[in-house]
Amino acid sequence: MDAKPPAASDREPRQPAEPRADPNRPDAVLWALAVTGDASARERLAQLALAAARSELLRRGVPAAELPDLVQEAQRTTFAFLARNPIAPKDLGTFLKYRAWGVLSDHRKKHRASRLDYRSELEEDMRPTSAATTAPRDALRLREIAVALAECRRGLPAELGRVVGMRYDSELGTDAIQHKLGVHRNTIHVRVFRALERLRACMGRKGFGAEDLT
């Protein structure tokens, strides 16, 4: 895959101040050099962005056919961000990882909206939860998780349980939930967030961690 950084002519105007980097932080030095247009630093940053995006997207189950476009988008937006931000992220590797997550969230949102991607539909339908398509031991584990999650959902306060039902069971978007409940969209987001927090804590008490849900 092409790890070359965008051409200099594609770069957006930079802030005039010369970026200063802590010499003890190699990431910051690399970022600062890349901001100044140093070709080898930009090449290295492109390689880092590519490697981080590929490994993270593969880990999240992105099909190989969709990988190049998503990796390219992660690289492109990283360089667009570089052009506007002379200060390096505190942890470059973690930032690049979350950039891949961000690109994937955007991608999944588009698929949810269009309902045209059978591969994603299948992936979401079948992969982690369908006992029929997994090994018996995994299927048993998935059933245990499903039972535990159902119990945890029953323990949610009514207003949180309702918003969870609308979001996941009825697959309503924030706008549709807002229309039904007549509350501010931030309130909906906070309720979903609190519900997920409670579910996660409840699952933790039942012995299921985040790694069980991947």
Least Å distance, CB 25 to other proteins, is 9
88 dihedral zone (left: phi>0; alpha: psi -120 to 50; beta): beta
| Residue 14 engages other proteins in binding (rule: CB under 8 A) | no
| CA dihedral for 148, 154, 155, 159, sign (positive or negative) | positive
Region near other proteins per CB under 8 A, out of 1-9, 16-24, 34-42, 154-162:
1-9
State how far the Cα of 80 lies from the Cα of 50, in Å rounded to an integer.
Answer: 15
165-184 residues near other proteins, rule: CB under 8 A: 168-169, 171, 174
Tell me whether residue 38 or residue 173 sits nearer to other proteins (CB atom).
173
From the list 31, 32, 44, 43, the residue with the least C-alpha distance to 7 is 43
| C-beta of residue 142 within 8 angstroms of C-beta of residue 180 | no
State how far the Cα of 51 lies from the Cα of 73, in Å rounded to an integer.
Answer: 13
Region near other proteins per CB under 8 A, out of 12-20, 36-44, 154-162, 195-203:
195-203
Q: List the one residue from 38, 98, 161, 162 that touches other proteins (CB under 8 A).
A: 98
| Residue 107 engages other proteins in binding (rule: CB under 8 A) | yes
120-159 residues near other proteins, rule: CB under 8 A: 120-130, 133-135, 145-146, 149
State how far the Cα of 57 lies from the Cα of 4, in Å rounded to an integer.
Answer: 19
Least Å distance, CB 116 to other proteins, is 7
| Residue 26 engages other proteins in binding (rule: CB under 8 A) | no
Q: Tokens standing for 206? A: 């039942």
58-97 residues near other proteins, rule: CB under 8 A: 58, 61, 63-68, 77, 80-81, 85, 89-95
Strand, coil or helix: what is 87? coil
Q: Tokens standing for 71? A: 């990796």
Least Å distance, CB 213 to other proteins, is 4
